[in-house]
Every structure is written in structure tokens, then in C-alpha cells.
Chain A
Amino acid sequence: AQKITQTQPGMFVQEKEAVTLDCTYDTSDPSYGLFWYKQPSSGEMIFLIYQGSYDQQNATEGRYSLNFQKARKSANLVISASQLGDSAMYFCAMRERNTGRRALTFGSGTRLQVQP
């Protein structure tokens, strides 16, 4: 079963507008972390934001915020005031604390294009 689902293969947004990238997850581990990474066309994986399963508040990092709805198992990324440099692939990922490998499980990604 898919552990991380990103249902939007591609998104367009106008510069300076906000955009929400969807992510739902599935786990039976009560302790886990949720992450968003950005991958520009140059290929590197850039960490954006982290939310722990026990965190009460939604995580924020500058223009990025994570809308964490635990009961719905969703962890959407909100980018405010989009910039042209935000055009990239965005991956949602989860890391379960109580599994042996501690691997990140990634979604299939959303390609965001910011238009001037």
C-alpha cells in the first residue's frame, strides 16, 4: 500500500500567490516525522520543513508552512507569496520512528511551476 500519496502531478501558480501542495500518508506507527523536500532542475534535494507526529503546532519555516491534520493523515505544504525560484519538484516524505530501517518513504512528487 502507498504510504505517501501526492495526488497532484503538476501545479501552476501565479507569482506572489499562495499555493497548497497535497500530501496524505498512511502508517500504524504512532511516532513518525513528516518532511517536505524541494528538488530543482539541478537535481539536489533541499530540506524545507519538518513536522513531528506529536507536535501540537503546525510547522512553519519562512514562506513554508505545513498544514498537519493528524486525524485525516494529511500534511499539506503551503507556500506563501510564490517566487519564480519556487519552480521545482516537491516531495512529501515520512520517516517512521519504530521501523528498523528509519528510511524516508517518498511520495511521487508534485511539479510546481510559478508563472510571472
Chain B
Amino acid sequence: EAQVTQNPRYLITVTGKKLTVTCSQNMNHEYMSWYRQDPGLGLRQIYYSMNVEVTDKGDVPEGYKVSRKEKRNFPLILESPSPNQTSLYFCASSLYPGEETQYFGPGTRLLVL
């Protein structure tokens, strides 16, 4: 089944404890992206990747890192999480950058205490 998977789906952590949210797609998509969704602010892009080893900042990159060592995986790293990073996170991918549809993972609900 073609899909984008994320893990974990739910995570409660404490300030300063490094964490990684994994994202994997099995559709051979070139473009991958991370978004966060917050009440009243909608969905905002954190980072994106046009292809392997090519990543760049989105609207709200502060406090996050990403890597794209393989085409299928695009992990989101929070080196020192803070309470303002409590949010719903989505990974998304599309075959190519451009107009093509982005397919979303199931989301990761993160609570930073």
C-alpha cells in the first residue's frame, strides 16, 4: 500500500530531551516536507527536501533539524525541545516539486513539558 508513515504517533517529553520523529514513504517520491499544525495558525512548513541530500528551510525552521540521506526517509530532529514546540506534526511527500499532490502521514502529536 502506498503511504507515508510517521513514528511515533504520540509523544510526551520534557524540555531539552532530544527526540527524533521518523518519516518514511514508499512511493519513490522526490519531494518531502514537514509541517506543524497549531490552533489559529494553521499548517506551516518547517523544512523541505527536493531530493536526497537537498534540504532547505520552510516558514518556521527554528529549533528543528532534518536530514535526507535516503530518498524514502526524512526524519525531523528536535535537538532541545521546548514547550512552544508542542504541536501536531505532519510529514508529506509528492512525486516531484511543483503542482503535484502532497500526501500526508498520519501525524505525530507532540507534547513538551
Q: Is the CB of B102 within 8 A of A104?
A: yes
Q: How far is the CA of A91 from the CA of B101 in the complex (A)?
A: 14
Q: How extensive is the interface on chain B, given as a class?
A: 20 to 34
Which A-B residue pairs are the 10 nearest by beta carbons? A33-B99, A45-B104, A102-B97, A103-B45, A106-B43, A97-B98, A43-B107, A44-B106, A106-B42, A50-B101
Q: How far is the CA of A102 from the CA of B43 in the complex (A)?
A: 14
In chain A, positions 44-59 with a C-beta closer than 8 Å to chain B are: 44-47, 50, 52-53
A-side interface residues, number (CB < 8 Å) = 25
Q: Is the CB of A95 within 8 A of B42?
A: no
Give 30 pairs: A residue, B residue, CB < 8 Å, sorted on A. A33-B101, A35-B102, A43-B88, A43-B106, A43-B109, A44-B104, A44-B106, A44-B107, A45-B90, A45-B107, A46-B104, A47-B103, A50-B99, A50-B101, A52-B99, A53-B99, A91-B42, A95-B102, A97-B98, A101-B58, A102-B31, A102-B33, A102-B48, A102-B97, A102-B98, A103-B33, A103-B48, A104-B33, A104-B92, A106-B43
Instruction: Report the minimum CB–CB distance from A104 to chain B (whole Å).
Output: 6
Q: Is B53 an interface residue, CB under 8 A from the partner?
A: no
Chain B residues lying within 8 Å of A47, measured Cβ to Cβ, are 101-104
Chain B residues lying within 8 Å of A32, measured Cβ to Cβ, are 99
Q: Is A108 an interface residue, CB under 8 A from the partner?
A: yes
Q: Is B59 an interface residue, CB under 8 A from the partner?
A: yes
Q: Is A14 an interface residue, CB under 8 A from the partner?
A: no
Chain B residues lying within 8 Å of A106, measured Cβ to Cβ, are 42-43
* Interface of A toward B, CB cutoff 8 Å: 31-33, 35, 37, 43-47, 50, 52-53, 91, 95, 97, 100-104, 106-109
Q: How far is the CA of A93 from the CA of B37 in the complex (A)?
A: 14
Q: Is the CB of A95 within 8 A of B98?
A: yes
Chain B residues lying within 8 Å of A101, measured Cβ to Cβ, are 45, 48, 56, 58
Other contacts beyond A33-B101, A50-B99, A102-B31: 4, CB < 8 A: A35-B101, A43-B107, A52-B99, A108-B42
